Amino acid sequence: MPTLHPILPGSTIGVLGSGQLGRMLAIAARRMGYRVITYSPETDTPTGQVADEEFTAAYDDLDRVRDFARKVDVVTFEFENVPSATANAAMEFAPVRPNGNTLNTTQHRLREKTFLFTHGFPVARFHRIDSLETLRRAYEGFDRRGVLKTAGYGYDGKGQIVLNPTTDLADAWAKLNTLEAVLEELIDFEGEVSVVAARGADGSFTHWGVVENHHHNHILDVSTAPATIGLSLHDQAIEIARGILETLQVVGVLCVEFFVTRDQRLLVNELAPRPHNSGHFTLDASPTSQFEQQLRAICHLPLGSTQLLRPAAMANLLGDLWTSAPPNWPAALAFADVKLHLYGKARPRPGRKMGHLTALADTPHAARQLVCAARAALSQPV
């Protein structure tokens, strides 16, 4: 293995994307003495507010991307829907971590499912759909039930339609408005879990255990760590995550989301090659957060401890909380073991992630009850 030269504090980290994940990465980087430059089409962004410099340009403005990359020592991304041409232009002047192959695989559902299936990772049955006729054939093969998804650029339930025997397939195909899609088997699952893990360029591997996730309207609502699953499933989830990171040769953080079926099997649902919403609890519950670990990995520094200091839970704060009045922050912060993280977004709107709460307690159940009680308190009259 070639000598790995660390990118030391005082160097400059480039972040493609400028949302809350980039913000928390930038805060970790600034704390460790790095400079941060962010690049996105927006200005006054969550990341830009704490970065040293904010490049505001379109992702397809490759000359500006090159200007950005000339000023940094390493590039990472805070969401996977950065065009591959953008990552390739940045790579002309700085290393991009995780690598372009990881980005290319995980930003496209069909490529991601094909990668998982080809390499023997457990995944629900799926078919490539490119016309109404191929949809009809695949739909019949799935006993007229499934989930139709756009092949690329989808998150938080966007770009997908659940199909059942009463669905008008022509209408569903027209609504999806795409040339290529994926039809997935509809899984009868009892729960959803995730593993947020990190891999260094030297092959070192760390993880924060298995996290239990609950969604509302396809958006993550509450995460609890550790998940209340059996030891065998826990170990399987960790080994599957390890195998995926090793196969993709990831340098950085990647989240593997799983379905837990009613007959106690794990099926990989999605991959996210970056810090993940379900790992936000690590900011308060571990010596090394997922954001610091991302920084350590891409800078070829030793990975930090991921020990869970106490059971923890995280609750998302969506823009819906601002509908009738500003949230009652003092009421939530009256819970001594609850921490508030806001993302600096000026305009709340329904479904928009504005921040999160984390809570620490003696048991996962107590942590979840605590964080939900604190979030409920935000709606109390001021």
Task: Answer yes or no: is pLDDT of 158 > 90.
Answer: no
Rounded Cα distance between 203 and 292, Å, is 18
pTM: 0.95
Has residue 155 got a pLDDT over 60? no
pLDDT digits (tens, 9 = 90+) for 115-150: 999 999 999 999 999 999 999 999 998 888 899 999
Strands across the sheet containing 146-150: 126-129, 181-184, 146-150, 160-163
Q: What is the C-alpha separation between 381 and 92, in angstroms, rounded?
A: 54
The answer as to CATH 3.40.50.20 being correct for domain 12-96 is: yes
Residue 2 has what pLDDT?
Answer: 56
Beta bridge partner(s), residue 215? 220
Distance CA 201, CA 5 (A): 10
| The pLDDT of residue 154 is above 70 | no
Which is nearest to 115 in space by CA: 23, 246, 224, 25?
246
Is residue 211 within 8 A of residue 197, CB to CB? The reply is no
Q: pLDDT tens, 185-197?
A: 988 899 999 999 9
CATH H superfamily, domain 189-377: ATP-grasp fold, B domain (3.30.470.20)
Q: Are 45 and 57 in contact (CB under 8 A)?
A: no
Q: Which CATH class is domain 125-184?
A: alpha beta
How much is the pLDDT for 260? 97
Please report, for the chain, the start and end positions of each structural domain, with discontinuous segments joined by +.
Answer: 12-96, 125-184, 189-377
The mean of the pLDDT values for the chain is 94
